[in-house]
Amino acid sequence: MNASPDSTNSAATALPGSSLEVSGFRVRLTGFQLRLISVIVFFTAWQIAGLVPISPAFPTFTATMASMFEMTFDGTMIAAYIETLKPLALGVGISATFGVAIGVSMGLYKGSRWLFEPIFVVLQASPVAALIPLITYAYGIGLTAKTIAVIILASPIIVLNTYKAVGNASPVLIQMCCSFQGTRLQQIWKVIIPNAAPVIFAGLRLGVAAGFIGVILAELLITPTGIGDIISYNRSIANYPHMYAAVLSIIVFSAVMVGLLEKAEVRYFRPEKKRGN
């Protein structure tokens, strides 16, 4: 049965393929255009909420951006990011290196799975903020404690993603390797790991995102340095535009980093997804 024309003209309807139909007129929008519209709507709502205002501690978007540019050009933001990136880079690097190795061993060997799986499942479910005082008590308030906070958040995601990816490698490909007299080492390096690579890389991307959460938590709860120092200090003196600018900058920075990793994942490991878009 054919739908009547009036049923499609009465309201705005989102259609597949990034198209939008409003009162009979269909507009084709790309994914980038839809994201841009979403960002504009969000920042416009932020500006209106700040002008109302919904709270004395809620600045407008324009005031926040002015503060961000001010801190960027006077070097405050750059110096803070240099300090913040130290534990982040160390923590994510250690988590990626050892996390992938442990995850691969868990996927390949039952004994390794019994040994490590409970540890990382518990770490993933643990509230990191509650563990920060224990980390501080054991390792002080320096770079080591912050790096460990990043590792606690990033490593479970990387390890468990790698473990599931390796454990669910295509049995057809493994059997084919065996039929061609492939050794166990060849199965691992030429079949299992390449087959699991897309999911492993996705775990690395999610681990980086968790690492950003860990480093900011560490800077807020262990000792105020880097971006955490800007947030804590400006909150204490009620300089809310500067505080929100620091929060917005870390959100934008982490979103850009994760987006770049996602593009690399699609380009090198999921070309079919790129063609589908």
Give the CATH number of the domain where residue 205 resides.
Answer: 1.10.3720.10
Domain containing 33 equals: 6-41
What's the confidence (pLDDT) of residue 186?
A: 78
Phi/psi of residue 127, nearest 5 degrees = -75, 115
- The answer on 140 and 21 residing in a single domain is no
Residue 85 lies in a domain: yes
Residues 14 and 111 occupy one common structural domain: no
**Same domain for 142 and 197:** yes
State whether 27 and 83 are in the same domain. Answer: no
Q: Return the higher-pLDDT residue of 5 and 106.
A: 106
207 and 241, same domain (yes or no): yes
Q: What is the mean pLDDT of the chain?
A: 81
pLDDT band at 137 (very low <50, low <70, confident <90, very high): confident
pLDDT at 243: 92
109, 141, 145, 171, 242 from 104: Cα distances, Å: 9, 33, 27, 16, 44
Rounded CA-CA distance 101/162 in Å is 9
Residue 47 falls within a domain, yes or no?
A: no
Predicted TM-score (pTM) of the model is 0.75
Q: Is residue 53 part of a domain?
A: no
Task: Kindly state the percentage of the chain with pLDDT values over 90.
Answer: 12
> What's the alpha-carbon Rg for the chain, to the nearest Å?
24
160 and 101 within one domain: yes
pLDDT level of residue 3 (50, 70, 90 thresholds): very low
What is the tens place of the pLDDT at every residue in 41-79? 988 998 898 888 888 888 999 999 999 999 999 888 899
216 touches 273 (CB < 8 A): no
Encode pLDDT of 226-277 as tens digits.
888 899 888 888 898 999 999 999 888 888 888 888 887 777 766 555 555 5
Whether 97 and 226 map to the same domain: the answer is yes
Quick check: 94 pLDDT over 90? yes
What integer is the mean pLDDT of 106-111? 86
Indicate the Cα dihedral angle 67, 73, 79, 84, nearest 10°: 50
- pLDDT for 273 equals 57
Supply the pLDDT for residue 224: 80
In a domain, 100, yes or no: yes
Residue 257: inside a domain: yes
- 3-state per-residue secondary structure call for the chain: CCCCCHHHHCCCEEECCCEEEECCEEEECCHHHHHHHHHHHHHHHHHHHHHCCCCCCCCCHHHHHHHHHHHHHCCHHHHHHHHHHHHHHHHHHHHHHHHHHHHHHHHHCHHHHHHHHHHHHHHHHCCHHHHHHHHHHHHCCCHHHHHHHHHHHHHHHHHHHHHHHHHCCCHHHHHHHHHCCCCHHHHHHHHHHHHHHHHHHHHHHHHHHHHHHHHHHHHHHCCCCHHHHHHHHHHHCCCHHHHHHHHHHHHHHHHHHHHHHHHHHHHHCCHHHHHHC
Q: What is the pLDDT of residue 141?
A: 78
